[in-house]
Amino acid sequence: MPKLTLYTRRDCCLCDEMKAVIQAVATEVPFSLGEIDVDSAADLAQRYGAEVPLLFIDGRKAFKYRVTKQALKRKLKGGRWIAWRK
């Protein structure tokens, strides 16, 4: 099962859009999701603050700023864990 990590911050409309896409894909593709607020630590804010929302899949940067449902599904399907829900 793929592990998604979403770097985000509060009051971020792009972050809200990406979360909605991720939630929509979750109804079709199993994965685990962790969310990290970049403003929770100075090093995170410095490293990722200008790039949020930023989505990693299994530790690899996959999407920055925006993602579509189709693009996320395609990226997940292209991985080694093709375990689609029916």
The distance from CA 4 to its chain's CA centroid, rounded to whole angstroms, is 5
Residues 6 or more apart in contact with residue 49 via CB below 8 angstroms: 9, 38, 39
* Element housing 47 (H / E): helix 42-48
| Region class of 7: left (phi > 0), else alpha (psi between -120 and 50), else beta | beta
Compute the distance between CA of residue 49 and CA of residue 53 in angstroms, rounded to an integer.
9
- When comparing pLDDT for 84 and 40, which is higher? 40
Which tens digit of pLDDT belongs to each residue from 28-52?
999 999 999 999 999 999 999 999 9
CATH number for the segment(s) 3-77: 3.40.30.10
Domain range summary for the chain, segments of one domain joined by +:
3-77
Q: The whole model's pTM is what?
A: 0.87
pLDDT above 90 covers a percentage of the chain that reads 87
Average pLDDT for residues 10-24, to the nearest whole number? 97
